Structure 1
Amino acid sequence: MFGRSRSWVGGGHGKSSRNIHSLDHLKYLYHVLTKNTTVTEQNRNLLVETIRSITEILIWGDQNDSSVFDFFLEKNMFVFFLNILRQKSGRYVCVQLLQTLNILFENISHETSLYYLLSNNYVNSIIVHKFDFSDEEIMAYYISFLKTLSLKLNNHTVHFFYNEHTNDFALYTEAIKFFNHPESMVRIAVRTITLNVYKVSLDNQAMLHYIRDKTAVPYFSNLVWFIGSHVIELDNCVQTDEEHRNRGKLSDLVAEHLDHLHYLNDILIINCEFLNDVLTDHLLNRLFLPLYVYSLENQDKGGERPKISLPVSLYLLSQ
């Protein structure tokens, strides 16, 4: 699902003598966008290559010529990206656009350049865009894009993502929707995003209160439920595999459980008191006591409450 990115550099426009790394070439590409505001079957490849070339110039300009960002901002060029996306121009364009944006933000190193790209709220509009997440490739590039953005979070850039006035934080709330995605790499990316958000929240009381009051309880509740469901699946694998034919599956389930523990530990060692209180309360009262400890005391087959076997319960409590 998270395969190697395709090569995208190249495919220059216009005369071969034109310097593709220049403000002049960016102006030419802007002209191409203004002449192709509607995506069609005939121009979609041209638009994809144009956006790729713009991205290449921006990455070059980040290191060599800040005037390209001045022009990019002056002409409000990011809005073209968003308009192309909103035209429902097909998976090919969506995939290429997400891939290109991911490459762009991965390679921008100067904060001033980053501020240019994050201004006007276009990135948040892309985050909340209704993509077809049933498409694995779109899902992969989308969550990678969110992960890349989360790695850019700091005390200065967080204000481009968390809006204190509207009490909105799309980067975080959209990411946690995929906490139990069937693809493990998506779940891992979500965990990385949340950890990056929690670390930054320590220095932003408004954002911390937003996370605690609006998202912590439902997110940690769902997370603990997901871990509990996984534990029951692990226990079923142990109890139904008397001849040890499913060692591979059991090994994967144990590894996944250990990943859960590492993630929980990563949250706790951030040492955010508000979050730790909510998380430990859910772990204690919705997982450890009602499942692990209850299973130790009630090994009879009856009852409607879920139980796990004694060996598995002891193993989990010892971790």
Structure 2
Amino acid sequence: MQFFMEKQVLREFVRILKISKTITISLQLLQTMSIIIQNLKNEHAIQSLFSNEHINYLISYSFDFRNEELLSYYISFLRAISGNLNKSTISLLVETQNGEVVSFPLYVEAIRFAFHEEIGDDSVNRYVTSGPLANYFSDLVTFFKKQCLYLNDLVVQASVEPSQELSSNVISTVDEIEDNLYYFSDVISAGIPDVDRLMTDNLLQYLVLPLLLPSLTAASDTSIGAITSMYLLCSILRIVKIKDLANTIAAALFCPQQDFLPLHDAKAKGNAPSSKAQHPLSEENRNGYMTEATRNLRVTIPEDAISLDGSGHCCLLSLRVAMLSYLSSGSDAQVLGALLVLATLLQTKELDELMLDALGILPQRKQHKKLLLALF
């Protein structure tokens, strides 16, 4: 092992992997690394190997997992590493900032395969999405919320005292936030309804409804700025592809408050009561921006996530006014942010076409198609 480290063989492995064009190299490298790690018995040797950043590079490398043999070798590689984790070695595989863990590639990559399609055991899926284990998803979103608040602090500092260091920190934090969103997307891609529900509920309850949306109104007193919130909403819609999440965000942005009615007796799968967006064809709706398509829309929102004012009314109505004010009289950054939100909504395939029509932002091409179909 001393020879292995002195000659920096692991660095050579990484170099070869970067320039290789064949899957054979990846297969052999993963098999070799697994054998080496599994046969390490000396604690000092394990620490020497894990202290090298090349291990985390191999863990995070984008292998072609369409090859089942390669996937099997990669899983063996992760198992070999995790089998040697203890209080001394685990700290070598995490990245910290200001005493807080901000990156743990081994955990992030391993959890991706917890819901792999070949595992597909319904009882296991129910187990990991219920009881105390389900807290993992709320903890995940809570940590993500802290990252969002940290990004906002950096943006505020950079706007007051611009510097190269702050700009670099902003870019780095944005990368970390988007990496986490792609992780959410990976978990959701397993196609397990209970996981989708947990991710949707937690994102709405801990982030979108209590923090991001209220920050868009001028009267709000939140710990995050409107511009940062608009960026985060765009990123969530673009990366985390959950139909209910997209429709709820769109409805909350543009629908009037009276369309969100608490359903105290509505409990699905043992969840807390929620609120449902309903759109009756009132005189106001017929004369306003709502259309007949609203009759068919239903959006479920965690009840304790909805922000209320002092009179107990939902403050969602002012969000549409705020977005329009940014477009008509906002700063350059606010105009750009509002336009990006609208553009992202139009490009979000998970958003119901009925919702786009109800919000008055259905593209003209689709409006014409709808009118033509109505003639026949």
Report the TM-score, using the length of structure 1 for normalisation.
0.46
